[in-house]
């Protein structure tokens, strides 16, 4: 076995430690300054850091998202032996081989067109208003639990066309998809996490069948009507796409909402600048993603053949984790990376990835976050950060805040 001790980072890199969760910046800076590539034995993986190195890997076709290529992947089950959750994952955009990924992505893209995204903005406005009406006018409230945890899944439910009264069923599906994927769960914990998946899939299948009979100009109808060289999406593929959207677009957006508001309230001059010029809102979103809302793990890739990265031999089947949060802290790209500055240039940002798997939901998440922010400050123009922040130290991927109290300062 190769001796990787000189580039092992296990002695200082611990993304599940409290120190890292509270403030990852020193660790990320050390990683990108000293370890363009490293071994992290705790994950049996390589780590790649720094803006340009990560882009090279994202564009390298020999590094695949297909989990089945991993040297330690469990033997793949035959489709007929898979449970509902496994079948969903087996058709997930993230984990498909290149040919199937390309086909599915081409068929899915029209459902994320500017026309549909524009329809969504009006629906988000209604949803977000209702959410704030439910919160009312308290002296303080838990922004993390009452807004950040709720708005992103509601936004996806509304994209998919789930009727309001069935949101709880969709919530359980979302919970199953997001939590069920955690590799650290015991079989019992996993069963518990995914117990809402079958009912959620029944609901989706009902909706798809309804739209097939009566197509409109909405998201599901666009998926149903999409066709590429005679090929169309099956019900299972549409359900798996909704699963992928939930997996990729609910948890990530939760942290964006919380950290955006936390940072604005911690940086009053930036907050004031935003209040004076609403055009800065998209810059504030990009800056939050750069500065702190990245997860703990980064993006996983598996070597489809032996390759060399930064002078090191990566063997076929090995895992390579791209630590995207180091890209945001790269001093070659960003001046004063430790400074939160909503007016900086984000042209080179890779917060939404790059290459074939580039995020399909960028417009959707930008629009829901903008709608939320405008409604929040319209209702509570004197909002300040409260005293209490409680992190979920057990979260498998995110630096998640369960509690982030805000004071409304209304009489």
Distance from C-alpha of 54 to C-alpha of 353, rounded to nearest angstrom: 9
In the complex with ligand HEM, the residue whose CB is nearer, 142 or 297, is 297
Total binding residues toward ligand HEM, as defined by CB under 6 A: 23
In the complex with ligand HEM, the residue whose CB is nearer, 156 or 314, is 156
According to the binding rule CB under 6 A, does residue 253 interact with ligand HEM?
A: yes
According to the binding rule CB under 6 A, does residue 93 interact with ligand HEM?
A: yes
According to the binding rule CB under 6 A, does residue 256 interact with ligand HEM?
A: yes
Chain positions 354 to 373 lying near ligand HEM, rule: CB under 6 A, are: 357, 359-361, 364-365
Contact 328, 294 (CB under 8 A): yes
In the complex with ligand HEM, the residue whose CB is nearer, 124 or 132, is 124
Q: Is 324 helix (H, G, I), strand (E, B) or coil?
A: coil
According to the binding rule CB under 6 A, does residue 91 interact with ligand HEM?
A: no
Looking only at the bridges linking them, the beta strands covering 312-314 and 307-309 are antiparallel
In whole angstroms, how close is the CB of 246 to ligand HEM at the nearest point?
Answer: 8
Stretch that binds ligand HEM, among 83-91, 165-173, 345-353, 392-400 (CB under 6 A): 345-353
Residue-wise burial string across 99-138, b where 16 or more C-beta atoms lie within 10 A, e elsewhere: eebebbbebbebbbeeebbebbeebbbebbeebbeebeee
Binding-site member from 12, 67, 352, 391 for ligand HEM (CB under 6 A): 352
Distance from C-alpha of 13 to C-alpha of 27, rounded to nearest angstrom: 7
The residues, ordered by sequence, that sit 6+ positions from 359 with a Cβ below 8 Å of its Cβ are 248, 352, 353, 365
Distance, CA of 347 to chain centre: 20
According to the binding rule CB under 6 A, does residue 249 interact with ligand HEM?
A: yes
In whole angstroms, how close is the CB of 182 to ligand HEM at the nearest point?
Answer: 17
Distance from C-alpha of 150 to C-alpha of 44, rounded to nearest angstrom: 34
Distance from C-alpha of 43 to C-alpha of 405, rounded to nearest angstrom: 34
Cβ of 370: how many Cβ atoms within 10 Å?
A: 17
Question: Which phi and psi (to 5°) does residue 62 adopt?
Answer: -80, -10
According to the binding rule CB under 6 A, does residue 65 interact with ligand HEM?
A: yes
According to the binding rule CB under 6 A, does residue 304 interact with ligand HEM?
A: no
Binding-site member from 21, 181, 248, 327 for ligand HEM (CB under 6 A): 248
Distance from C-alpha of 115 to C-alpha of 133, rounded to nearest angstrom: 28
According to the binding rule CB under 6 A, does residue 323 interact with ligand HEM?
A: no
Q: What is the x/- site pattern for ligand HEM, positions 112-151, by CB under 6 A?
A: ----------------------------------------
In the complex with ligand HEM, the residue whose CB is nearer, 240 or 408, is 240
Residues that bind ligand HEM (CB under 6 A): 65, 93-94, 105, 156, 244-245, 248-249, 252-253, 256, 289, 299, 351-353, 357, 359-361, 364-365
């Amino acid at each position: 076995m190769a001796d990787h001790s000189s580039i092992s980072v296990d002695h200082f890199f611990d993304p599940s430690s409290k120190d890292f969760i509270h403030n990852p910046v020193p660790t990320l800076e050390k990683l990108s300054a000293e370890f363009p590539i490293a071994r992290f034995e705790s994950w049996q993986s390589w780590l790649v850091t720094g803006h340009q190195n990560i882009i090279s890997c994202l564009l390298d076709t020999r590094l695949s998202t297909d989990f089945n290529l991993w040297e330690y992947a469990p033997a793949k089950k035959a489709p007929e032996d898979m449970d509902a959750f496994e079948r969903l994952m087996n058709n997930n955009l993230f984990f498909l081989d290149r040919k199937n990924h390309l086909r599915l992505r081409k068929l899915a893209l029209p459902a994320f067109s500017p026309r549909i995204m524009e329809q969504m903005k009006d629906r988000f406005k209604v949803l977000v208003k209702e959410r704030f009406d439910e919160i009312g006018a308290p002296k303080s409230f838990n922004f993390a639990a009452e807004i950040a945890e709720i708005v992103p899944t509601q936004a996806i439910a509304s994209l998919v066309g789930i009727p309001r009264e069935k949101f709880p069923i969709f919530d359980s599906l979302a919970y199953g998809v997001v939590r069920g994927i955690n590799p650290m769960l015991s079989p019992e914990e996993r069963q518990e996490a995914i117990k809402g998946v079958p009912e959620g899939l029944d609901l989706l299948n009902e909706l798809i069948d309804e739209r097939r009979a009566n197509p409109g100009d909405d998201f599901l109808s666009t998926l149903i009507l999409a066709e590429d060289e005679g090929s169309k999406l099956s019900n299972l593929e549409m359900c798996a796409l909704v699963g992928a959207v939930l997996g990729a677009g609910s948890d990530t957006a939760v942290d964006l909402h919380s950290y955006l508001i936390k940072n604005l309230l911690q940086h009053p001059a930036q907050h004031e600048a935003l209040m004076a010029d609403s055009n800065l809102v998209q810059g504030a979103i990009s800056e939050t993603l750069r500065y702190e809302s990245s997860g703990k793990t980064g993006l996983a890739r598996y070597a489809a053949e032996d390759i060399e990265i930064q002078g090191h031999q990566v063997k076929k089947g090995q895992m390579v984790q791209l630590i995207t949060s180091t890209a945001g802290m790269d001093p070659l790209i960003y001046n004063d990376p430790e400074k939160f500055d909503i007016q900086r240039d984000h042209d080179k940002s890779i917060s939404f990835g790059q290459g074939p798997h580039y995020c399909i939901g960028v417009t959707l998440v930008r629009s829901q976050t903008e709608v939320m922010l405008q409604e929040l400050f319209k209702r509570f123009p004197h909002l300040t950060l409260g005293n209490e922040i409680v992190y979920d130290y057990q979260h498998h991927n995110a630096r998640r805040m369960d509690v982030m109290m805000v004071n409304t300062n209304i009489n």
